[in-house]
Structure 1
Amino acid sequence: MIQGVCPVLEVPFTAAGDVDYDGFDRVTEHVMGTGVGAVMFPGFASEFPKLDDAERTRLTGRLLRAGNAHGVPVVVSVPDHATVVAIRRAREAIDAGAAAINILPPHVFAPAPAQVRRHVEAVLDAVAGTPVVLQYAPAQTGTALDAETIRAFAERHGAGLQVKVEVVPPGPVVSALAAGPRPVGCLIGYAGVHLLDGLRRGAVGVQPGCSFVEVYVEIWRLWHAGRIADAEALHRRLLPYIAYWMQHVELIVQAEKTISRRRGLIADDHCRMPGRPLDGPESAEVDRFLEEFADLLAGQGSGGSVVTP
């Protein structure tokens, strides 16, 4: 089962928009050395709709090899809309060594709820025996589920089903899934905006982006060391930034990539278009963020220190 901090990996691009595979390897190496419980790819933070099949396959293979070398579990996401493709992708990932599969329910053209359920059930049946994270992200996808439906999925898949909760607020869903004879473990998404509420309700993990994952690892460490007040104080420092960036998916993707570039983790913060470039005040906010958290982030980049623009 996936526990702790499980970041979604970003994909570096060159200024021309080509995948920077060596840069992806560097990001992977860095993140796997920060004390994370697992990593996931591809997610919204990976700009997965902007990757072609060959790029996605190649990146997944590189990540799985790194996970095996470092002993870090890799969750491979299957965000594919077509059920037959999602099943094929999931099986390929398992055969290649994925520790778990993430299912993003289909949402293009707003499929009927019954069709969404059949898709999830078909993928669950195809990967029986493998841990699965079901991604519940109605704000990003419009796909509406409820605790009863998710519990039925858990009955079908057994104890191997967890849920990434990205509904706002996530707390009631976490509590509902934790209740009953077979609790369903929940991971908090949405950049961890509601992480503390999730922890109070029994969440077993958090899935943020990866550019400042050390902050989430420290919050997690403090909380589980019994230093609740310190964990809360650190999260309060983080909250104004992530609350602003989470106003739009493309905004936080760009903000995270800009952070990674200024830290020296990647060479370029290019996002494939269409995107959401930062304006002047937003770029300055990234500088303030790096100053605010320099105690946790300094010395982590490829150059050994935070990189200024």
Structure 2
Amino acid sequence: MNSSALQGILPVLPTPFNESGVVDYSAMERVAQFCLEAGANALVFPGVASEYDFLERSERDELLEVVCRTAEGKVPVVCGGGKGTPEVISENIGRAQSLGASAAMLLIPAQFSGDVSGALDFVKSVISGTDGVSFVLQNAPTPIGAGLDAKDLLRIVEECPEINYVKEEALPSGPRITEVLASAPNHLTGVIGGGGARYLIDEMNRGAIAAMPAAEITDLHVKMWNAHVGADMTLTRSLYMRSLPLLVIQTIYRMRLTKYVLTERGVLSNSIVRAPLPGFDSYDRAEIAVQLESLSDLFEISRLEESKV
């Protein structure tokens, strides 16, 4: 499938583990299917929100194979290139292509913060080791990424026609999106928003063609996206305001919150993470329960009752 189909809500999938902390491949299929049924326009794996740094290469490849098989013929799959030398990242992308990924997300490492020449050399080295893949250039804030400004991003994009998208996550993302789109070369198809969809309305108002939030409320995010596309700003803002309390909690607990919500919704069986994240206490769980109840009328997909049978 052509990467030009990258538009709308593109959730980044979490990595499920069983009670022993081993990767749960059956649960990964359930998560991917949940996102498809919720209306996702593409699936993204592995990304930072997938606990990429805490997975073995074989685990990442096998999980991606599950995602690609589940998505085949339905939506595109965007792989994360990961970290390491340009050679390692190129190899990661090549394996992902062989499994069915049609686009690759390339993170500009934090070491190139303020060093656009070094970032450009790095990006060119990765691209030169691949063939026939469309790139999403990920500009994440430090300490995760380099957090380059718009003019430096544009320099990299202009010199690399293989880059068809920019995922802008450095803050404030809105003005950066406007500046990139104002001077974008013809081969740049569009800008994708990040930040967990916490800035979705501003990003869409400025021309973002997609967003990559976490996966736990994909159906709500799809409703919000579609309402904005349909110019129903009253509904868009209502959905946005209703989603924010849960997303504020996510800024602290990150993928643990994603997995916890998916567990409460009946998609996963636990919220186990490998990343060193804080756990929930009784107050957290009570507040999350209130938030989920307040959103329950918006959830199109739930396996909770089925899981109890």
TM-score by length of 1: 0.90
Query: Corresponding residue for 1:212?
Result: 217
| CA distance in 1 between partners of 2:248 and 2:305 (Å) | 29
Query: Corresponding residue for 1:22?
Result: 26
Deviation at 1:256, TM superposition (A): 1.1
Query: Corresponding residue for 1:31?
Result: 35
Question: Given the superposition, is the C-alpha separation of residues 180 and 291 from structure 1 closer, same or farther in structure 2, using an over 3 Å criterion?
Answer: same
Listed one character per residue, the Cα deviations across residues 63-91 of structure 1 (whole Å, up to 9, x for unaligned) are 112221x4210000112221110011112
| CA distance in 2 between partners of 1:121 and 1:282 (Å) | 45
Listed one character per residue, the Cα deviations across residues 11-64 of structure 1 (whole Å, up to 9, x for unaligned) are 111122111111111111111122111010011221111111111111111111
Question: Given the superposition, is the C-alpha separation of residues 124 and 299 from structure 1 closer, same or farther in structure 2, using an over 3 Å criterion?
Answer: closer
| CA distance in 2 between partners of 1:53 and 1:287 (Å) | 35
| CA distance in 2 between partners of 1:165 and 1:273 (Å) | 24
Q: Are 2:297 and 1:295 aligned?
A: yes
Indicate which of 37, 42, 47 corresponds to 1:43. 47
The answer as to whether partners of 2:246 and 2:291 remain within 8 angstroms in 1 is yes
Deviation at 1:275, TM superposition (A): 2.1
| CA distance in 2 between partners of 1:292 and 1:227 (Å) | 21
Equivalent position amino acid for 2:280 in 1: L
Question: Given the superposition, is the C-alpha separation of residues 111 and 153 from structure 1 closer, same or farther in structure 2, using an over 3 Å criterion?
Answer: closer
Q: Are 2:233 and 1:228 aligned?
A: yes
The answer as to whether partners of 2:141 and 2:169 remain within 8 angstroms in 1 is yes
Which SS does the other structure have where 2:276 is aligned?
coil
TM-score by length of 2: 0.90
Matches within 5 A, 1:102-121: 102-107=105-110, 113-121=116-124
Indicate which of 10, 31, 45 corresponds to 2:14. 10
Q: Are 2:191 and 1:189 aligned?
A: no
Structure 2 gap ranges (5+): none
Bigger mean CA offset, 110-119 vs 98-107: 110-119
Bigger mean CA offset, 135-144 vs 223-232: 135-144
Query: Corresponding residue for 1:167?
Result: 170
Equivalent position amino acid for 1:280 in 2: S
Q: Give the share of equivalent positions with the same residue, in percent.
A: 28
Indicate which of 267, 270, 295 corresponds to 2:269. 267
Matches within 5 A, 1:127-166: 127=130, 129-158=132-161, 160-166=163-169
| CA distance in 2 between partners of 1:109 and 1:147 (Å) | 14
Question: Given the superposition, is the C-alpha separation of residues 167 and 291 from structure 1 closer, same or farther in structure 2, using an over 3 Å criterion?
Answer: same
Deviation at 1:146, TM superposition (A): 2.0
Deviation at 1:142, TM superposition (A): 4.5
Structure 1 gap ranges (5+): none
Question: Given the superposition, is the C-alpha separation of residues 304 and 297 from structure 1 closer, same or farther in structure 2, using an over 3 Å criterion?
Answer: farther
Deviation at 1:144, TM superposition (A): 2.9
Deviation at 1:297, TM superposition (A): 1.8
CA RMSD of aligned residues (A): 2.2
Deviation at 1:111, TM superposition (A): 9.9
Bigger mean CA offset, 212-221 vs 89-98: 89-98
Matches within 5 A, 1:67-86: 67-68=71-72, 70-86=73-89
Bigger mean CA offset, 232-241 vs 199-208: 232-241
Question: Given the superposition, is the C-alpha separation of residues 202 and 296 from structure 1 closer, same or farther in structure 2, using an over 3 Å criterion?
Answer: same
Bigger mean CA offset, 172-181 vs 279-288: 279-288
| CA distance in 2 between partners of 1:241 and 1:35 (Å) | 20
Which SS does the other structure have where 2:192 is aligned?
strand
The answer as to whether partners of 2:113 and 2:147 remain within 8 angstroms in 1 is no
Equivalent position amino acid for 1:54 in 2: S
Deviation at 1:157, TM superposition (A): 3.0
Which SS does the other structure have where 2:165 is aligned?
strand
Deviation at 1:110, TM superposition (A): 7.4
Which SS does the other structure have where 1:220 is aligned?
helix
| CA distance in 1 between partners of 2:85 and 2:281 (Å) | 37
Query: Corresponding residue for 2:60?
Result: 56
Which SS does the other structure have where 1:163 is aligned?
strand
